[in-house]
Amino acid sequence: MASPTIEQQPSLWKYPDFLRLWAGQSLSQFGSAISLFAFPVIAVTVLNASEAEMGVVGFLLRLPMVFFLVFGVLADRVRKRPILIWTDVARFVLLMLIPIAWFADMLTLTWIYGVIFALGLLSTLFQTAYRSYFPFLVPRENFLEGNSKLQLTESTAQTFGPGLAAALLKVLAAPALLIIDAVSYLASAIAVSLIKRPETRPEPDDTTAGQVHKAIWQGVLWVMRHELIRPLAISSAVYSLFILGSMNSIYALYVIRDLGVPAAWFGSILAGGGVGAIIGALIAVKVMRRYAIGKVLVWSMVYGNLALFLIPLATGNVWVSVAMLVLAQLVSGVSSQIFFVTNTSLVQTITPPQLQGRVVASIYSLGLIPAPLGALGAGLLAGAVGTRVALWVVVAIGALVPVAAMAWSPLAKLKEMPAPGSQ
């Protein structure tokens, strides 16, 4: 039986401004997937980076995430479209520095460190402004469709981008691959600059003017006090700590060493999650139109999280193990995308316009900052009790606690999309 919560609306294919934003996002996502592949390859094969130096690369990739909260304040105080355009242009310039330095025989790890950190800052700012610009550009009734389309291209890029980069590496040097990403950012800037809907400057918030810490705290408090958003934020933080951080940090070690799966197969196992994510993004809107919002949020998390138990349950038989791991990735990928599209649309609908940037930043921070701590803890735990036992611990906590937080919250009984700004 169809749910009364999501009515049929004119398709976003009829909204040229959204199509411009989507086109720019799609191009830059594929370019970014190529860069994520190219940077480590450049560091290892061109600059002969050591293990410690590769650790610095990984650290600098994640360090800019701590600026999400500050950028959330900025996104609530200025027009967002200029941020999107100029961060794209700046990323184009930064990426072009690498192949230029390589052609001039001037490329060093110091160049790589500086560019990676600056790119991370700009990408964090872009992501914050982009997510808070979306509710302004897209009609509220089309949030689900818009988020589904955006997630579809992101999932497709993450799934096929590395393979495309590997194929291009056969005909191009690794530094030259970055030219492709640079051009994609320039194309994205042009696409966003063609958006015609005028954007007014947000009204200043006199209660936090000149006080960034108070503005940040205002956004965090709003998230933690809202009865519908709080369980989403708590679930995100727990999942990030135990699954994205803890489980993923020891996953490759478990699969290759403990289960004896050939290393060459590892990428194919991970690809199952990418395929699942594409399927999930394709069917998310149909699922939401058929079932109540609360049921979609809870049951997509139940199916996705319970599938993770297939990982520590994998047997010693290599073929059976691979089948269980691929199934876990596939189901988790489908479910996570349905959950993300629904979750994002709900948050965008509820959040007042003047708080969009800070709420986006607060939720991203709660979801991303715990991951490095989880990675460190999982490594120590696996060393003490073994990888399989450590996986049982982190999966049990990381999968079941978020489900409990959702099931015993008002979200579970939510039948329709709340009114904008509702508490």
Instruction: Name the H helices within 226-317.
Output: 229-239, 248-253, 263-290, 293-307, 310-313
The residue assigned the tokens 């965090």 is: 220
Find the mean pLDDT for residues 339-357. Answer: 89
| Placement of tokens 């999501």 in the chain | 6
Q: What percent of the chain has pLDDT over 70?
A: 93
Question: How far lies 46's CA from each of 61, 95, 167, 293, in Å?
Answer: 19, 16, 18, 50
- Over the chain, what is the mean pLDDT? 86
- Percentage of residues of the chain with pLDDT beyond 90: 34
> Is 294 within 8 Å of 411 (Cβ atoms)?
yes
Q: Do domains 9-140+157-198 and 217-423 have the same CATH topology?
A: yes
Listed range (187-191, 315-319, 342-346, 402-406) with the worst mean pLDDT:
315-319
Say whether pLDDT at 62 is over 80.
Answer: no
pLDDT score of 404 more than 90 = yes
What is the distance between the alpha carbons of residues 48 and 109, in angstroms, rounded to a whole number? 9
Mean pLDDT within 118-123: 90
Q: What is the pLDDT of residues 10-37, one digit of tens each?
A: 688 888 999 999 998 888 888 888 887 7
pLDDT at 218: 86
For the chain, domain boundaries = 9-140+157-198, 217-423
Q: Which fold has domain 217-423?
A: Growth Hormone; Chain: A; (1.20.1250)
265-274: pLDDT as tens digits: 877 787 888 8
**Ordered alpha helix ranges (H), 42-108:** 51-62, 68-77, 80-103
If DSSP states are collapsed to H, E and C, what string results for 310-357?
A: HHHHCCCCHHHHHHHHHHHHHHHHHHHHHHHHHHHHHHHHHCCHHHHH
pLDDT for residue 3: 44
**Do the Cβ atoms of 218 and 367 come closer than 8 Å?**
no
Burial of 34 (0-12, 13-18, 19+ CB in 10 A): buried
Q: Is the Cβ–Cβ distance between 339 and 371 less than 8 Å?
A: no
What number of H helices and E strands is found in the chain?
Answer: 17, 0
CATH 2.60.120 fits 9-140+157-198, yes or no: no
Encoded tokens for 79: 């027009």
Nearest CA to 41 among 211, 204, 177?
Answer: 177
Among positive and negative, which fits the CA dihedral 189, 190, 191, 195?
positive
pTM of the model: 0.81
**Cβ count within 10 A of residue 190:** 16
pLDDT in tens, 272-325: 888 999 999 999 989 988 899 999 999 999 999 999 999 999 987 889 999 999
Closest C-alpha among 55, 95, 313 to residue 186: 95
Confidence of residue 55 (pLDDT cuts 50, 70, 90): low
Q: How many Å is the Cα radius of gyration of the chain?
A: 21
